[in-house]
Structure 1
Amino acid sequence: MIDMSPNIVLVVAIGALFITGVYLLLERSLTRVLIGFILIGNGANLLFLVAGGRAGGPPIIGQTPVEDMSDPLPQAMVLTAIVITLALTAFILAMAYRSWQLHGHDEVQDDLEDRRIVRLAAKNAPTYNDTDSIEDSETIDEQAAEARDETGNGVA
C-alpha cells in the first residue's frame, strides 16, 4: 500500500502562508494587502499540489502504468491560479500606484457611509428610521382619505 499522507512541513508551510496572508489582507495599506494576496495565492498553489497526491509518471496511456500516473488536474489548477494571482497583483499594484500619485500614500480611507455608521454606533442610534414600528392613531381608511389622488379625477 502506498503512503498518501502529506509531509508535515508542507502542511505547516501552507498554514503559515494562509495565516500570514489573511493577517496582511486585513491591513489598510494596499502594499500589505498585495503581499497578503500573493501569500494566499502561493499557499493555495502549494495546497493544490499537496492535495494532488504523490508524484508519478506522465498521464499518457501506454507510456506509464495506470497506477503510477500522476493526476494532471492539480497541476492545471495551479497554472490557472498563477494566472489569476498575477492579474490581481497587477490590478492592486495599479491601484496602489494611483493612490500614491493622488494622496502620497497607499492607505485605504473610510468612505462617508462608514464614518456615518461609526458615529451612529457611538451614539447607540439606529442606522435607519423604521416607520412601520411607529404606532399611528389613524386607521387605514383615514390615511386613504388623506392620500393624494394622482389620477386627476378627484375621487380618492
Structure 2
Amino acid sequence: METLMAYAIGVLFGCAVYMMLRRSIVKLVIGLIILSNAANLLIFAVSGMTRGAPPLIPEGLQLPEGAVADPLPQALVLTAIVIAFGVLAFSVVLIHRAFEVVETDDLDQMKDTDT
C-alpha cells in the first residue's frame, strides 16, 4: 500500500508542477491546490499508515496497549487544509480582480499591460 501511495503522491506532485508552469493564472492556482493535497498525502504516508487504531491511551495506563495512530500528522494536515483553503480563497479573489482590470488570464499578457 505504501508503494501505491508513493506513486500517487509522485504523480500528484508532477501534475502540480506541470500546472504551475502553464501561462494561465487559473491553472497556476489549480496547480497550487494539487500541490497542497500532494503535500498532505505525503505527510500521512511518511508518518505511517495505521488503520483502525485511535490515538488514545486508556485511562490509568502509561503506555498504549496495542497499535495507535500518531495524532501529530493528523493535526498538521488539518492545519494545512485550513491554510490551503485560505490561500485558495485569496487567490480566487485576486484572479477575479486581475481579470477585471487586465481582461486576460495569461501571465505574459498581464506583464505587458500598462495599466
1:95-134 correspondence to structure 2 within 5 Å: 95-108=94-107, 109-110=110-111
Task: Find runs of 4+ consecutive structure 1 residues off by over 6 angstroms.
Answer: none
SS of structure 2 residue aligned to 1:60:
coil
Shift of 1:102: 1.4
Which segment is superposed worse, 97-106 or 28-37?
Answer: 97-106
Shift of 1:16: 0.8
Aligned to 2:31: 36
Taking structure 2 as the reference length, the TM-score comes to 0.81
Give the root-mean-square deviation of aligned CA atoms.
Answer: 2.1
Alpha-carbon separation, structure 2, partners of 1:18 and 1:98: 28
Question: Normalized per residue, which structure has more helix?
Answer: 2
**When the two structures are aligned, how many residues end up with a matched partner?**
107
Q: 1:66 to 1:110 in 2, by over 3 A?
A: farther
- Structure 1, unpaired ranges of 5+: 1-5, 113-156
Taking structure 1 as the reference length, the TM-score comes to 0.61
Alpha-carbon separation, structure 2, partners of 1:66 and 1:77: 25
Check if 1:58 corresponds to 2:54. Answer: yes
Aligned to 1:15: 10
- Structure 2, unpaired ranges of 5+: none
Identity in percent: 38
Q: Which residue identity is paired with 1:22?
A: V
Shift of 1:67: 4.4
| Structure number with higher relative contact order (C-alpha < 8 Å, ≥ 6 residues apart) | 2
Q: 1:26 to 1:66 in 2, by over 3 A?
A: farther
